[in-house]
Amino acid sequence: MSLNYAFSFSVFLLALVILNIYFFYTLNTIDRKSPKFNVPNLRFDLTSSVFKDIYEYLNYLPSQYKNKNSKFIKIQKSLVSSFNSSKNDNPASVWDETDKWISNQSLFPHENGVGGKILHALQSSQIALVDNALKGTQLKLLLLIEGKQKVYFKPKRYNLDHVIKGNIYAGFDRHNSEVFAYYLAMVLNFKWIAPSVIRYIHLDKDIVPVATSGLRRTMVKNDNGALCIYGKCFYCKVNETVCPDSKGQVEGAAILFLDKTFKVYKSPWRRSYSSKKMEWETDNDFCTKVRGTLSTKRLLNLIDVAIFDFLIQNGDRHRYEVYKEQIILLDNGKGLGNPLVDELDILAPLYQCCIMASSTWQHLEIISGGSLTETVKILSSFQGHKLATEEHFRAVERRLLKIYATVQYCIGRYGSSKVFKSGF
């Protein structure tokens, strides 16, 4: 009896020690004032358990991920300095600077105020020629502006507060998502993206006089007698036109045309665009197969892109373009659809592979506590346009917390030394 008693007492002491360790860990890691995140209704498939684990980590995130980090102040000041210098007496002269730009860190120069000058030139340069941009699934125009620079123009289809319901890739492209994505990429330090800005174009004054015959053939008058454009593209229809507002203007995103040769690849995590499930949606060991076909550098790049897409909820990146061995963030118009929905499977490359570039993680850690969207607002204010509703800004911050939780999930499974990769 004494032996059994001693054994039972030892087990009791061990349990008591474990409970105390857990208690003190909880006190030091949980922000007790923060609300609980409820796990959404999930399908009972292989992914469900992963999502539940990530939401569990979300509820126990250390407070440092919910507060501002003073290390970001210097970076924010640098970004503000670069984009708060849009005044330029000769907008076309900025293209001389970009033509000479050679770098393995970014597509275009951003330092010394060049970033703001590029956006000012996109927004204000005189238009010399307008044509249909034939490539793509949706209406966009190709502009030739002074300085012989080409620009894509994606017209406005929805008001900012319009909510896109349905599939993650539903609806027309959102012009504001293209511009929001550009500023977001700057804050995230993802410099492989084409500059983009909101621009207003007067249809009768700016487009009609310099329109090609091909563009003119895709113009029709609406019931009010206003000239509208339906364009020429894969999904363009004569009954889905873009018409000017009461001032005769069309609002849209002016996106710098990248006159470069890209290598195009299918994304391993592409969607089927039907009820059919892709392999990555049913196999949580899918990354093991991907590792056998892609370099670690490319895989880390895809994970960066997944993080970027998750923040704006762009679930339409079925392929990706590569320049100088870097993925270019093109076609970001499917973001900002529904601020109430967070499709966590956009992060599949992260939670299935559970690796991340150390430099990416270090930067993500310092844009916490609202600094990310605060900086997007500041930078976009220099061009004088609101890019999203407050609901969308709050949604981006909410999704950033979920990215932190996903990384914590990976650390919990494999340890920091296996998750973070240096030298890439």
Q: Give just the sign of the alpha carbon dihedral 166, 172, 173, 175.
A: negative
| Cα 187 from Cα 79, distance rounded (Å) | 8
Question: Tokens 């440092």 label which residue?
Answer: 64
The amino acid present at 381, given as its one-letter code, is: S
In three-state form (DSSP H/G/I as H, E/B as E, the rest C), the secondary structure along 128-146 is: EEEEECCCCCCCCEEEEEC
Alpha-carbon distance 244 to 265, whole Å? 37
- Residue 112 gets the label, from left (phi > 0), alpha (psi -120 to 50) or beta, of left
Write down the catalytic residue from 173, 206, 316, 331: 316
**DSSP summary character for residue 127:** E
Q: How far apart are CA 363 and CA 191, in angstroms?
A: 13
Q: CB-hemisphere CA count at 13 Å for 82? A: 19
Distance of CA 140 to the CA centre of its chain: 20
SS3 for 166?
Answer: coil
Residue 94 vs residues 89, 99, 113, 144, 349: alpha-carbon distances, Å: 10, 9, 11, 15, 38
Give the phi and the psi of residue 196 in degrees, each rounded to 5.
-145, 145
- Amino acid identity at 399: R
CA dihedral 263, 264, 267, 273 (to 10 degrees): 170
Residues 6+ apart with CB under 8 A from 27: none
316 annotated active-site: yes
Helix (H, G, I), strand (E, B) or coil at 102: coil
Q: How many residues does the chain have?
A: 424
Q: Which helix (H) or strand (E) holds 263?
A: strand 263-266
Contacts (Cβ under 8 Å, ≥6 apart) of 277 = none
- Yes or no: say if 153 and 145 are a contact pair by the CB < 8 Å rule: no
Other CB atoms closer than 10 Å to residue 377's CB: what's the count?
A: 14
- Tell me the residue type at 377: K
Q: Which residues are catalytic?
A: 316
